[in-house]
């Protein structure tokens, strides 16, 4: 990360308030990607695909590895970086899905933050425990490096009460049970990219459909989140890969009372046995479902239900914003699945939201790719989510303003 931002005389107090509540322009920092990659879970026990790309986005490493847990996977990354002779890092920044009630802003990690994350693991059991394990491992492995937690909940921290407060007893709100919202780093990256696109108008009324194995729809007004489909946990909202999204809570009561489901069985049902996987009976991967749909009616039903769920939520967010100027698709499905984008927008045709078939089906090379027809009532764009870049920017800000 390079920046001239801190070479100037600035009022740190007012600047700190600005960065905590607003997205900084993308040109604030000159970001050079040295390496980027991922370790992708496979269905074979403990076997994973390990991909690494260089600064030109070319794949320079692709291998199958065995990793028994998250810390084992991190060890593979550390060894690869050492072999590649990357510069010594100044910091390690972590994406943490849920900040809970006491960690609303991105922060440097200390013992107090670790204790707080341990207490909030129950808020997002699919994600936070794994993040905590990696944080604890990297703090032990690199004790002299500052470490930063960047929360997916931070972008939504200033939602109005009408969206944030849940319709339950007030006493539970005081325990931190409210709508937090997730995919915040992805949403923020979309806002930053749109704000700094020289040939586009910054939308005042923006809807972001982050569609992947986890999926959410967020309403953004003047750059600020005002409502989002996920709630207290990342299990709510639209139908997802293996998560059910919003369902009648009476179903869970029925299963506990009549079918003797315990908490573990309920959690398995909601997070691991539902969504695309539950309906299709074959996979949570949209690519596999598209291949099977021609001969498997359950696979086609799963696709239709997913797109129906997303379209309903987009309609709700249009109501929240009193209209829409730009609709953005991002995330794995949002960026790469033209069929799902078309099915979703077909159900919004009554609002005169219309895609251009050629643009929607063409190979997307641009970071921001417009797929709407010239006669569409709003712009529809596909934007490559840049969560890692947002994490890097927040880390740079915290390292400049807060002593390590």
Domains of the chain in sequence order: 5-179+388-401 (3.30.420.40), 200-386 (3.30.420.40)
pLDDT at site 123:
86
Residue-wise pLDDT for 65-88, tens only, equals 998 888 889 999 999 988 887 788
CB within 8 Å of 12: residues ≥ 6 apart: 401
- Annotation marks residue 152 as catalytic: yes
Q: Which residues contact 287 (CB under 8 A, 6 or more apart)?
A: 337
Per DSSP, the three-state class of 43 is coil
Q: Which residues of the chain have pLDDT under 70?
A: 3-29, 42-44, 401-404
Predicted local confidence at residue 121, as pLDDT: 85
Which of 72, 111, 152, 161 is catalytic? The answer is 152
Determine the distance from the C-alpha atom of residue 257 to the mean position of all C-alpha atoms in its chain, rounded to a whole number: 34
Q: Calculate the CA 307 to chain-centre distance.
A: 18
End-to-end CA distance of the chain: 17
Per-residue pLDDT at 64? 92
**pTM of this structure:** 0.91
**pLDDT for position 404:** 35
CA distance 77 to 71: 10
Spatial neighbors of 305 by CB under 8 A, at least 6 apart, are 239, 279
């Amino acid at each position: 990360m390079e920046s001239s931002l801190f070479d100037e005389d600035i009022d740190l107090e007012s600047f700190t308030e600005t960065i905590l509540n607003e997205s900084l322009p993308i040109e604030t920092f000159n970001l050079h990607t040295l390496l980027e990659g991922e370790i992708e879970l496979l269905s074979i026990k403990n076997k994973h695909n390990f991909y690494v790309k260089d600064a030109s986005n070319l794949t320079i490493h692709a291998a199958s590895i065995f990793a028994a847990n998250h810390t084992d996977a991190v060890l593979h990354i550390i060894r690869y970086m050492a072999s590649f002779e990357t510069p010594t890092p100044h910091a390690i920044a972590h994406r943490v899905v849920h900040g809970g009630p006491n960690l609303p802003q991105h922060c440097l990690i200390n013992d107090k933050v670790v204790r707080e994350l341990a207490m909030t693991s129950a808020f997002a059991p699919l994600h936070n425990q794994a993040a905590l394990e990696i944080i604890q491992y990297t703090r032990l492995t690199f004790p002299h490096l500052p470490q930063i937690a960047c929360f997916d909940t931070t972008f939504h921290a200033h939602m109005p009460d009408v969206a944030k407060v849940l319709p339950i007893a007030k006493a539970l709100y005081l325990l931190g049970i409210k709508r937090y919202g997730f995919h915040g780093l992805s949403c923020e990256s979309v806002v930053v990219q749109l704000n700094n696109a020289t040939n586009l108008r910054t939308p005042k009324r923006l809807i972001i459909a982050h569609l992947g194995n986890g999926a959410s729809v967020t309403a953004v007004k003047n750059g600020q989140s005002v409502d989002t489909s996920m709630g207290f946990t990342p299990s709510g909202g639209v139908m997802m890969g293996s998560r059910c999204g919003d369902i009648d809570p009476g179903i869970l009561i029925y299963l506990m009372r009549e079918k003797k489901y315990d908490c573990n069985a309920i959690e398995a049902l909601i997070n691991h046995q539902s969504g695309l996987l539950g309906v299709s009976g074959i996979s949570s991967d949209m690519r596999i479902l598209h291949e099977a749909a021609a001969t498997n009616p359950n696979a086609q039903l799963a696709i239709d239900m997913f797109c129906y769920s997303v379209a309903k939520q987009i309609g709700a967010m249009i109501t929240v914003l009193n209209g829409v100027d730009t609709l953005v698709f991002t995330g794995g499905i949002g960026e790469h699945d033209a069929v799902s984008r078309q099915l979703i927008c077909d159900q919004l045709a009554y609002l005169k939201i219309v895609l251009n078939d050629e643009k929607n089906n063409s190979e997307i090379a641009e970071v921001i790719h417009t797929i709407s027809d010239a006669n569409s009532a709003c712009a529809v764009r596909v934007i490559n989510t840049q969560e890692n870049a947002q994490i890097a920017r927040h880390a740079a800000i915290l390292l400049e303003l807060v002593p390590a």
